Structure 1
Amino acid sequence: MSRSDLARRQAELLQALLADGPPPAGFDPARLRVEARVLRRKHGRVLAYQRPEVAEALGERYGPLFAEFSSGRPKKATERSGAYADEFVRWLTERGHLPKPRRRLADRLRRR
């Protein structure tokens, strides 16, 4: 198999795992769905570790809300987890699950 073929197959697999893409030829769709759920939960745990205040504020709602977010907006393979966490917080705020963050005084002074 050539490098370009391998790269294409890897991209197809990542698309299936991270973005609900179709299963590549030769892969069991049921097993891919299980692995995709595992990866999303892992992303959720990483995000909760990076932003414990978010997980704490949401309590038991954290898991279901992250699942809803990640099903509509899966993490890209090249995306930094911090940027993904920022997007999740924006998503939560826009939908009223978290209060809008207060601006720090320094931020307010810079914007004048």
Structure 2
Amino acid sequence: MTDPRTRLAAAQSTLLHALLANGPLPTGFNPTRLQAQSQALRAKRRRVTAALRPDLPERLGERFRELFDAYATTHPRREGVGARTDANTFADWLVTQGHLPKPRRRWWPRPRR
């Protein structure tokens, strides 16, 4: 028999994986409600990303939602990662996947001395 805390931690991990990364549904949960909660959490994360990086939905247009959802299901936010870092990581993912061009390096003139 395993420790109750270990069992609880494993059950919580399974639930989080199902909610945030389209993992298998844990036993004893209503699949319809779990799906609704998963969609709500993803929508909240999408709204926060759009607020922090308004350039992304502007540039992607109608594709923003679809691409964000694809990203979010394969890249659940990790503990300790802030929303701004998450939004920037999504932007980097868009570039590596070829959905956005690589940003050009900014050029600033050197101050004269």
TM bin (shorter chain): 0.7 to 0.9
Alignment of 1:29-40 (within 5 A): 29-40=31-42
Measured on the aligned residues, the alpha-carbon RMSD in Å equals 2.4
Normalising by structure 1, what TM-score? 0.77
Greater share of helix residues, 1 or 2?
1
**Measured at CA, do residues 19 and 75 of structure 1 come closer, stay the same or move farther in structure 2, by a change above 3 Å?**
same
- Which residue is equivalent to 1:82? 84
Alignment of 1:20-35 (within 5 A): 20-35=22-37
Q: Deviations over 1:78-98 (max 9, x none)?
A: 432222212211111123322
**Measured at CA, do residues 78 and 10 of structure 1 come closer, stay the same or move farther in structure 2, by a change above 3 Å?**
farther
- Which residue is equivalent to 2:103? 101
Instruction: Give 1:50's match in structure 2, choosing from 37, 52, 68.
Output: 52
Over alpha carbons, which structure has the higher Rg? 2
Q: Mark the runs of 5 or more structure 2 residues left unpaired by the alignment.
A: none
User: Does structure 2 retain, via aligned residues, the 8 Å contact 1:15–1:21?
Assistant: yes
- Counting aligned pairs with the same residue, the percent is 44
